Amino acid sequence: MIKKMALGFLLILVVIQFIRPPKNISDAPANNDIGMVYEIPSAVHGILKEKCYDCHSNNTRYPWYFNIQPVGWWMYKHIQDGKNELNFSEFKTYSAKKATHKLEETVELVREKEMPLKSYLWMHPEAKVSADEEKILTEWIASLGVKVDG
């Protein structure tokens, strides 16, 4: 009985490898990117690209383990949730009020170490935002006239 269950489980694992989620890679020019709204210093752009864009843009860099299911499905859901919350590739489509609010939230979540997510940092420790990077990001957002308490 246990052999049949193990074989069934193994068969399911093999079959699900052929059911893959779509990848978050856009070939389209980023006409709505945050860089079309604000002038972004290279240091800030680097921080956003390295720390945020995998989950909060239309282009994700995929690690090898995305190809293993159900990990790929879990990552796909994570990316979709991240983009629904904040998408730097679609930032120009936000109203001024929503854009300001998203930037305020960005500072708050980075300061409180809620972003990047701890689950993301497990496999991507290089995505951790340093104190210097936090300061650069916060100062840039404040320079846009966005309230950044603290």
Residue 23 CA to residue 79 CA, distance in Å, equals 10
Instruction: Give residue 28's pLDDT.
Output: 73
pLDDT at 150: 63
pLDDT tens digits for range 58-107:
999 999 999 999 999 999 999 999 999 999 999 999 999 999 999 999 99
Q: What is the mean pLDDT of residues 105-122?
A: 94
pLDDT band at 149 (very low <50, low <70, confident <90, very high): confident
- Amino acid identity, position 36: M
Reported pTM: 0.88
Q: Select from 49, 30, 67, 70 the least CA-distant residue to 116.
A: 49
Q: Give buried/exposed letters for 41-80 (b at 16+ CB in 10 A, else e).
A: eeebeebbeebbbbbbbbebeeeeebeebeebeebbebbe
When pLDDT is cut at 50, 70 and 90, the band that residue 27 belongs to is confident
pLDDT at position 113 over 80: yes
